[in-house]
Amino acid sequence: MQPSFYSTCQPYFLQGLKAALLTDRDGVVVLKAQSQDCHEKLFDPLLVTNFSISNDQANKLGLLRNQAIVSMFDMYQLIQLDQSPLVLTLIAEADSNTGLWIHLSRQLKGQTDPLVKAMQGGQDTVEDQIIGC
């Protein structure tokens, strides 16, 4: 899945995409695609853990499940999708095409859905075993 994840992101590096990450809620990287000029500081787990907290709060707004949060900063923009138990993060230049990243995030979500569903199935099995004890 890593090669297809990278090949989907690669055409967008020239349009301002810096990195795309699929991580767990604590920021541990599962899949990664990064441009050649991407700074290593962008892979700080803090970006994902902050999103996890914000996402949990957003789920309490009474609008059902929060799907994504777009954050605009001076240096970069972040598009983060909740794919519980995983998080998809796109990091791009601040003045780049946000709509394009939302489109890309949907593409990557489709690619990573089988992995997410497999992990959800694994979680359910563990929980069933615990309840059965």
Partner 1 sequence: MDTELSNTLDTIANEEGVQGVLVVDKAGLCLGVRGNASKFFAPFVASIASSAVNIQQMDDESKIEYPTITVEFNDKKIVVRPQETCTVAVFV
For partner 1, which stretch binds (CB under 8 A), given 49-57, 81-89, 92-100, 117-125?
Answer: 92-100
Measured between alpha carbons, how far is 87 from 51 in angstroms, rounded to an integer?
9
For partner 1, which stretch binds (CB under 8 A), given 22-30, 47-55, 97-105, 113-121?
Answer: 97-105
**Is 102 near partner 1 (CB under 8 A)?**
yes
Residues 18-57 close enough to bind partner 1 by CB under 8 A: none
**Is 97 near partner 1 (CB under 8 A)?**
yes
Residue selected from 93, 103, 107, 113 as contacting partner 1 according to rule CB under 8 A: 103
For partner 1, which stretch binds (CB under 8 A), given 21-29, 55-63, 96-104, 112-120?
Answer: 96-104
**Is 8 near partner 1 (CB under 8 A)?**
no
For partner 1, how many residues bind (rule: CB under 8 A)? 7
